[in-house]
Structure 1
Amino acid sequence: MRRRLINSTLAVVLVVIAVFGISMVLVETRAIDASARDRLQSEAARLVTEVESRLVSGRPVTPESMAELVQPERQVVIELDGEEPFTVGEEPSGAVLEATERGTRGETVTVRQDGSVVSDEVGRSLLIILAVTAITIASAAVMALRQARRLATPLTDLAESAERLGSGDPRPRHRRYGVEELDRVADVLDASSERIHRMITAERRLAADASHQLRTPLTALSMRLEEIIATDDLETVKEEASIALNQVERLTDVVQRLLTNSRERRMESAVGFDLDEIVLQQIEEWRPAYRARGRVIVHSGKPGLRAVGTPGAVAQVLAALVENALMHGGGTVAIRTRTAGNQVVVEVTDAGRGVPPSLGSRVFERSVSGRNSTGLGLAVARDLAEADGGRLELRQLRPPVFALFLSRAQDDEPPAQT
C-alpha cells in the first residue's frame, strides 16, 4: 500500500509538471526570442538616429566612425542614399536574427545577431526549469513517503489490533493517529475490545461462580447419598432420599439462577418466607459433615421470623457461611436469628481462630482467602445477598461473626428491640 501511495502521488506530480513544464518552456522560448528581436530593433533605431545626426551636422558616416557605436557580436549594415552600403562588425554564423530601421534621409540600418545567443539563453532557462522540476519531484517524493508512512503505519497498527482482538486478546490499545477517519476506526476497535473484554470477564466470573455455587449443593447431595449407602434401614433410606430430592431441586434452582444472573429478575422473584425453615434445612444438611469431623452445629435466637427475598439465594448464602465455618473455623458453629429494626439478621459464628486483621476489610473480595482456597465463597455469598436486597457483613473478627441482613416481611410482627 505504501508503494502504491508513493507511485500515485509521484504520477500526479509528474503529469502536472509535464503539462505546466512544456507550456512554460514554449512560453519562455517565445519570450526570449521576442526580447532579443526587440533589443535588435532598439539598437537599429539608435544607430539610425546617430546616422541622421551625423548627416545633419556634416560629420562623416564611415565604417571607422561607426565601429565604436556597434556592440560586440553584432553586425551592422548601413546604406546611405545614393551610396554603396558598408558593413561594421563580423558576419554572424548559423541562424541569424536581424532588425532593420529606415531614416528620414533615405538611410537604412540593419542590425544582425547570431541566433545562438537566443538558444543559449533558452538553454539556461531550460536548465533552471529542469532544476526546479527536479527539486519539485524530490520534494513530492519526500512528502509522498511521509504521507504514505503516516497512512500505512496506522493501518498496519489497526490490522494488528484487529488480529489481537480475533486471537483472544481484547485489551484496548487507546492509540490515536491524528487522522479523523483512522481515529474513528480506532475508537470502534477500542469500544469492541472493551465490550469483548467485559463479556469474557463476565463469562469467566460466571464459570467461577457456577463451579463454586454448584459445589456446595453437590457436596451436600453426596453426603446424603453416602448416608443412604451406609444404612440398611428402609425408613432412613426413604428419609435421606427425600432430602436428596430436595437438594436436587435446590441444585436446579441454583443452575437457573446462574443462567438468569440479574438483580432485577431476582428482585421480581423475592417473596416472604419462613426464615427458620431455611436455617433448619441448612443445619440438617450440614450436620453429617460436622459430625464426621467431630463438631456440632446448633441454632438459637428468635423463632418465627419471616424475611423477604429468594429462598434459594438465602439458602446459598447460609450454605456458603456454614461451609466456610466448616473449612476454616473450629469448635461449635452457632446460627442465631434476631431482628434489627425493620430487618431480620442471621448470624453465623464459630469458636475458631477467626479472621486475620489483615484480611478483615478484604475478606469479601474475590480471590482473597486466608488459606489455600478459591476465595470465591464469601464473594459469591455477598453478591447473592445484595441481589436479594440484603447485605452480608463481617461483624466481628475473633471469634468470627458473619451477619446476613434481610428485609423483614410485612406480615411479620412489629420489630422487636434487640
Structure 2
Amino acid sequence: MRSRLLSSTLTVVLVVVVLLGVPLGVIQARSIESRARDHLQVESQQLASNVELWLENRVPVEPQRLARQLRPDQYAVVRIPGRPPIAVGTPPREDDVLAARGVGAHGETVELVQGREDIEREIQAFWLLILAASLFATASAAGLTLLQARRITGPLADLVRAAERLGSGDPKPRRRHYGIPELDRVAEVLDSSGERIARMITAERRLAADASHQLRTPLTALSMRLEEIIATDDPQIVKEEAAIALSQVERLTDVVQRLLNESRERQADSAVQVDVDDVVHQQIEEWRPAFRKADRRLKVRGEPGLRAVATPGALAQVLACLLENALMHGKGSVTVRTRRLSDWVVVEVADEGPGVPPELGNRIFERAVSGRNSTGLGLAVARDLAEADGGRLELLQLRPPVFAIFLNAYEARLDTSGGAHGS
C-alpha cells in the first residue's frame, strides 16, 4: 500500500509539474525575449536622438563618441544622409540576434544589433528555477506521502491483527482509536462484533453445560425404564414401564424446550441496533438478478430510516427465506414494504401468486409442513430466527400471500430499558 500511495502521489505531482511548469517556462521565455526587444528598441531610438542632437549642435559624430553609448555586446550602424555609414562595435557571430532601428528627425538612422547570450542565460536560469521548484515539490510530496502512508498502514496492520485474533477465538475488545474516522469506525465495528461473539460463545457454552447437566437424569431414568421393558415378558409390567417412559420423555421434552427458550432470550439480549434499510437493500441487490432472470420485478416500498433491535445476519436470513419462497412459489411482482407499527418495525414481503392454501394457514411455519414440493424447514427456521431476536414471523394474508417480520423498534427498546433501569 505504501508503494502504491507513493507512486500515485508522484504521478500526480509530475503531471501537475508538466501541465503548469512547461507552459509557465514557455510564457516566461517569450516574456524575457519581448522585454529585451523592447529595451533594444528604446536604446536604438535614444541613440538616434543623440545623433540628431549632436548634428544640431555641430558636435562631430565619431565612433568613439558612439561607442560610449553602447554596451559591450552591442553593434551599431549609424547612417547620416550625405555621409558614409559609421559602424561601432563587433558584429555578433550568431545568426539569431536581436535587432532594432531608430530614426532621427532629419533622416538619421541607427541600426542596433545585440547577441542573445544574456537572454539565453536568463531563460536558462528561469528553467533551472522551475526544475528546482519541481524537485522540491516532488521531494516534499514523497515525504508527506510516506508520513501519511505510515499513519495509515500502521492502524491497518493493527486492524488486521485484531481481525485475526477475533477469528482465532479471542473476541476481547481493544478500544483502539487512530484519529482517522474511517479506521476508528472499523475498529468500533470489530469491537462490537467481538462483544457479540463473546456473548454468543458464552451462551453456547452455557447451553451445552446446562443440557449436559439437566438431561443426564431424565435420560438415565428413561434408560432404566427401557431396560425394564426389555428384561420382562409380563405385558402388565411392560405397559406400566412404557407409561413411565412416556412421562420421562415428556419431562425430557420440557427440559429441552426450557433450554431453548433460555438460549433464545440470551440471544435476544445480544441483538444490536440494525438499520433495516441496509439489510433490505442488501438482500434486494442479492436477489434482484434471480428475479430479473425469472422476468419478475422486485420492488421496495415503505418508510425509510427505520431502526430495529435484531441480529443483522439473522434478519438477512429470514428476509432471504421469504424472498426465496416468493420466487419459487409465488408469481408476479414481489414487494418488500417497511413500516412502523407502535413499538414494532414491520418488514412485509408480498407477491401476486395464489398464496397459501386455507387448510394450511399458520401451519405453514411448522416443520415438515409445505404447500409445495419442498422440505418445509425454511419458514420454520426463519420463525425460530425471528423469535430468537425477540421478534416474530407471521402470515398476515393468505391470498395474495403477505408475510411479515415483526422486530422490536430500537427507540421502544431504549424506552423500555431506561424505564426498567429507572425503577
TM-score, normalising length from structure 1? 0.54
Deviation by residue 1:137-171 (Cα, 9 ceiling, x = unmatched): 11121222233333433333333333322222222
Deviation by residue 1:335-385 (Cα, 9 ceiling, x = unmatched): xxxxxxxxxxxxxxxxxxxxxxxxxxxxxxxxxxxxxxxxxxxxxxxxxxx
Q: Alpha-carbon deviation of 1:101?
A: 0.7
1:170 maps to: 171
Deviation by residue 1:57-107 (Cα, 9 ceiling, x = unmatched): 221211122222222222222111211111222222223211111110111
The gaps in structure 1 that reach 5 residues or longer are 226-235, 266-418
Distance 1:263 1:180, change over 3 A: closer
Query: Which stretch has the larger CA shift, 157-166 or 246-255?
Result: 246-255
Q: Alpha-carbon deviation of 1:253?
A: 3.1
Return the alpha-carbon distance in structure 2 between the equivalents of residues 209 and 57 of structure 1.
Answer: 128
1:253 maps to: 254
Matched residue type, 1:44: S
Matched residue type, 2:206: R
1:7 maps to: 7
Return the alpha-carbon distance in structure 1 between the equivalents of residues 56 and 196 of structure 2.
Answer: 105
Return the alpha-carbon distance in structure 2 between the equivalents of residues 190 and 263 of structure 1.
Answer: 23
3-state DSSP class of the match of 2:262?
coil
Return the alpha-carbon distance in structure 1 between the equivalents of residues 112 and 206 of structure 2.
Answer: 102
Matched residue type, 1:140: A
Deviation by residue 1:162-202 (Cα, 9 ceiling, x = unmatched): 33222222222333333333333333322222211111111
Distance 1:179 1:264, change over 3 A: closer
Return the alpha-carbon distance in structure 2 between the equivalents of residues 248 and 97 of structure 1.
Answer: 115
3-state DSSP class of the match of 1:77?
strand
3-state DSSP class of the match of 1:260?
helix
The gaps in structure 2 that reach 5 residues or longer are 227-236, 267-423
Q: 1:362-381 to 2 correspondence within 5 Å? A: none
Deviation by residue 1:258-301 (Cα, 9 ceiling, x = unmatched): 22217989xxxxxxxxxxxxxxxxxxxxxxxxxxxxxxxxxxxx
Matched residue type, 1:106: G
RMSD of the alignment, in Å?
A: 3.8
Distance 1:196 1:158, change over 3 A: same
Matched residue type, 1:39: H
Return the alpha-carbon distance in structure 2 between the equivalents of residues 162 and 264 of structure 1.
Answer: 28
> Percent of aligned pairs with the same residue?
56
2:18 maps to: 18
1:75 maps to: 75
Q: 1:336-415 to 2 correspondence within 5 Å? A: none
1:58 maps to: 58
Distance 1:105 1:38, change over 3 A: same
* C-alpha contact 2:75 2:87 (8 A) present in aligned 1: yes
3-state DSSP class of the match of 2:102?
strand
Q: 1:276-355 to 2 correspondence within 5 Å? A: none
Q: 1:58-207 to 2 correspondence within 5 Å? A: 58-94=58-94, 95-207=96-208
Structure index of larger Rg:
1
3-state DSSP class of the match of 1:261?
helix
Distance 1:118 1:179, change over 3 A: same
Matched residue type, 2:30: R
* C-alpha contact 2:207 2:263 (8 A) present in aligned 1: no
Return the alpha-carbon distance in structure 1 between the equivalents of residues 172 and 84 of structure 2.
Answer: 102
Return the alpha-carbon distance in structure 2 between the equivalents of residues 246 and 169 of structure 1.
Answer: 43
Matched residue type, 1:111: L
* C-alpha contact 2:79 2:109 (8 A) present in aligned 1: yes
1:42 maps to: 42
Matched residue type, 2:16: V
Aligned length: 264
Return the alpha-carbon distance in structure 1 between the equivalents of residues 196 and 45 of structure 2.
Answer: 89
Distance 1:262 1:118, change over 3 A: closer
Q: Alpha-carbon deviation of 1:239?
A: 10
Deviation by residue 1:20-62 (Cα, 9 ceiling, x = unmatched): 2221121111111111111111111221222122122221211
2:349 maps to: none
* C-alpha contact 2:203 2:263 (8 A) present in aligned 1: no
Matched residue type, 1:50: N
Return the alpha-carbon distance in structure 2 between the equivalents of residues 219 and 176 of structure 1.
Answer: 54
Matched residue type, 2:161: E
Return the alpha-carbon distance in structure 2 between the equivalents of residues 191 and 145 of structure 1.
Answer: 32
Distance 1:253 1:116, change over 3 A: same
TM-score, normalising length from structure 2? 0.53
Matched residue type, 1:102: V
Return the alpha-carbon distance in structure 1 between the equivalents of residues 6 and 265 of structure 2.
Answer: 58
Matched residue type, 2:176: R
Distance 1:99 1:263, change over 3 A: closer
3-state DSSP class of the match of 1:14?
helix
3-state DSSP class of the match of 1:112?
strand
